[in-house]
């Protein structure tokens, strides 16, 4: 559903309430520098810190970061172990940053698939930040959009079997109510780093009318100036949500040139 956009004259137009980012290019960034892939993941943590802080200070209401997909479990076991360890370290070390910026932490995905230590660190950080009234930072962990939709369908079937759901009444709102986080509005802007032109099984239901912005910058190099470029590109877009603007065809949306 379309929302009345926030206007930001300093950016030249509307401002996204919810930004989602596919953080791509950590491994490539490292390999181009003759480093191990895992060192790229470590370098990417600084980008997470800077972009989260900048979004919170600018007034973004929700930021969703695609941190670990269900497909990522297929990577070499040592890399997966390193990523889970890095997640625990991040959750411990960034608690002060989250608190200082009033950020609430949330998670979407099959969190039960995460190692127990990572689940504990995630739960403790969520509890610590739960009372914060600023931006919501959602980490997509062990997340896949097809898995999310399958989980929702399974839950609806169980509810129908138990007599708690009338299948004749199922509509889009019903399906949304069974997704991992039905309360957070759909993303207005989806950013993908490292130049790849694909969605990678990310928020397929929620991104139906999201604006897409792709930059060649790899995630470890993505900083607030790069975010500003994405926001300015978004401000030039004309979002129609399948209808027409002022009853007229306003033409194609502006294209970013990143």
> What's the chain look like in SS3?
CCCCCEEECCCCEEECCEEEEECCCHHHHHHHCCCCHHHHHHHHHHHHHHHHHHHHHHCCCEEEEEEEEHHHHHCCHHHHHHHHHHHHHHHHHCHHHHHHCCCEEEEECCHHHCCHHHHHHHHHHHHHHCCCCCCEEEEEEEECHHHHHHHHHHHHHHHHHCCCCCHHHCCHHHHHHCCCCCCCCCCCEEEECCCCCCCCCCCCCCCCCCEEEECCCCHHHCCHHHHHHHHHHHHCCCCCCCCCECCECCCCCCCCCC
Closest-CA residue to 132 (of 106, 111, 107)? 106
Known active-site residue 24: yes
Known active-site residue 120: no
Q: What are the structure tokens assigned to 180, written together?
A: 């991992």
> What residues contact 223, with CB distance under 8 A and at least 6 apart?
47, 50, 51
Task: Name the active-site residue from 10, 24, 181, 188.
Answer: 24
- CA R_g for the chain: 19
- Give the CA-trace dihedral at 110, 219, 30, 113, to 10 degrees: 0
Task: Name the active-site residue from 10, 26, 72, 181.
Answer: 72
Catalytic residues, which ones?
Answer: 24, 72
């Amino acid at each position: 559903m379309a929302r009345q956009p926030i206007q930001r004259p300093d950016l030249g137009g509307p401002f996204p309430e919810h930004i989602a980012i596919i953080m791509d290019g950590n491994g490539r960034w490292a390999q181009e520098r003759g480093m191990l892939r895992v060192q790229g993941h470590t370098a990417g943590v600084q980008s997470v810190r800077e972009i989260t802080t900048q979004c919170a200070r600018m007034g973004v209401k929700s930021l969703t970061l695609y941190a670990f997909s269900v497909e990522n479990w297929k990577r070499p076991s040592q890399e997966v172990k390193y990523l889970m360890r890095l997640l625990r370290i991040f959750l411990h070390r960034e608690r002060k940053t989250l608190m200082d910026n009033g950020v609430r932490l949330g998670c979407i995905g099959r969190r039960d698939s995460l190692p127990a230590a990572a689940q504990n660190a995630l739960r403790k950080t969520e509890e610590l930040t739960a009372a914060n009234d600023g931006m919501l930072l959602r980490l997509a962990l062990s997340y896949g959009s097809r898995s999310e939709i399958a989980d929702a369908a399974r839950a609806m079937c169980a509810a129908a079997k138990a007599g708690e759901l009338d299948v004749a009444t199922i509509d889009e709102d019903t399906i949304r109510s069974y997704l991992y986080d039905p309360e957070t509005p759909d993303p207005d802007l989806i950013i993908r780093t490292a130049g790849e032109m694909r969605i990678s099984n990310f928020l397929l239901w929620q991104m139906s009318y999201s604006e897409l912005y792709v930059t060649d910058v790899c995630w470890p190099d993505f900083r607030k100036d790069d975010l500003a470029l994405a926001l300015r590109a978004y401000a030039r877009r004309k979002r129609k949500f399948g209808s027409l603007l002022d009853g007229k065809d306003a033409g194609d949306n502006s294209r970013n040139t990143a």
